[in-house]
Amino acid sequence: MEKLALLSASDKRGLVEFATALVNRFGYRLLSTGGTAKLLAERGLPVTEVSQHTGFPEIMDGRVKTLHPKIHGGLLCRRDKPDHLRQAEVNGIALIDLVVVNLYPFEETVARRESTSKRPLRISISVPSMLRSAAKNHESVTVVCDPADYQPCCRRWNRPRRCLGPAPPRAQGFSADRKLRRGDLPVSRGTAGRAGSRCGGRIPVFAHPDV
């Protein structure tokens, strides 16, 4: 069965080398978007744009591209449930086995003192959504959200009994969730001022526990 990897990374360190290994050593087909897809194509890697995969174009200045049933259905489908697999087949949803993403470094936007009117433009919707879906289905989908994990992944997958990723599946889900919590905090802090100005300055900044 074909294995699909979905890549969308703001931090491109080591990405080309990792993607090359995914194709040449581990037999994945690559799905990607925007700058990530362009980089991989420029380096000669076979990559399918998400819009081609879904049959739906990017719209609204790229705000809507991976928010599609063929992406999230491919991530959320449980492989141990025949009804899930049947529904995926009926609806033409290919299963996605690996997600390689990382969150936009919003704290850098705040550090640059960028206008508060522009900060909401830097808030990622698609990447946290993909991370959540993959983490929810961590028994079936490998989540890699840190370039530091690329080489450990390859080493583990090269072992005779290849495991799913850089950590046990449940730990992968917790790791992705922790990344999201940490990513939410600078977004909350960085946008509170603008939102507060519309609410009489009385908008709270919520910090997740365990960040």
The rounded distance, in Å, linking the Cα atoms of 190 and 116 is 8
Q: How high is the pLDDT of residue 159?
A: 76
Of these ranges, 14-18, 119-123, 131-135, the one predicted with the greatest mean pLDDT is 14-18
What does each C-alpha distance from 26 to 32, 97, 102, 153, 178 come to in angstroms? 17, 12, 21, 11, 28
Looking at the predicted structure, is the pLDDT value of residue 51 above 60?
yes
State pLDDT tens for residues 11-33. 999 999 999 999 999 999 999 98
Q: What is the mean pLDDT of residues 94-109?
A: 78
pTM over 0.85: no
Structural domains of the chain, ranges and CATH numbers in brackets: 3-197 (3.40.50.1380)
CA distance 13 to 105: 14
Owner of token pair 């991976």: 66
Q: Which two tokens stand for residue 25?
A: 């050593």
Say how many C-beta atoms besides its own lie within 10 A of residue 154's C-beta: 16
